Amino acid sequence: MRIQSLLASLFVVLALSGCNPPTSDPNILYTDDHKDPIKELESDKVIDSSKMPYQKTFYVPVYSNIHADEDNPKVMLSATLSIRNSSLDHSIYVKKIDYYNTKGDFVRPYLTKMIELPPMGTLNYIVERMDDSGGDGANFVVYIEGDNAQLSPVIEAIMIGSYSNKGFAFSTTGTPISPPETTKEPSS
């Protein structure tokens, strides 16, 4: 009888522990094949930028939190950066994804190598809800090149969160800006 009780207790513990997803990088955890989406698309291809007629840098606003009311002034949000290649025929090359905070300080790079995003391909990258390193005015800078001047990638950020019985979901769109002059290093 005691062994049956012990086995039943063990079963309950194992069943309940299966309810919580493992703590891990959401960018790997929530993909269909549990692989890092950036690593999967990284390329060692050498691209001659002088031969790329499409070269744009995009500013993408991201909100890691919003103010809901005076009782709980800070509601944390998760954000997904989505880079979509809208071309049916041409790859785009994502050369830089950098994350900045509210003060404009460089927080971290998201790329160590260039990404080749195939025609109609999409790269989604998640900033976790509890990652407040960017503050409420965080942003991404994304630099893209391509071999066709008519490319028009779609770059957005989608934020979601909840507070009490309220749910929040909204998106922002990347805006073309001047290319960066230099690569910044994270501030300490």
pLDDT of amino acid 2: 54
Q: Identify the band that residue 121 occupies on the pLDDT scale cut at 50, 70 and 90.
A: very high
Task: Using the predicted structure, report yes or no on whether residue 117 has a pLDDT greater than 50.
Answer: yes
Write the pLDDT tens digit of every residue in 9-53: 444 444 444 444 344 665 555 556 666 666 777 777 888 888 999
Closest CA to 159 of 172, 150, 149: 172
pLDDT of amino acid 152: 95
Distance separating alpha carbons of residues 127 and 25, to the nearest angstrom: 10
Tokens read off for 20? 């919580």
Task: Provide the pairing of β-strand 92-100 with 106-109.
Answer: antiparallel
Decide: residue 122, CB within 10 A, 0-12 exposed, 13-18 middle, 19+ buried: middle
Query: For the chain, what is the mean pLDDT?
Result: 80
Lowest mean pLDDT segment, chosen from 48-62, 69-83, 134-148: 69-83
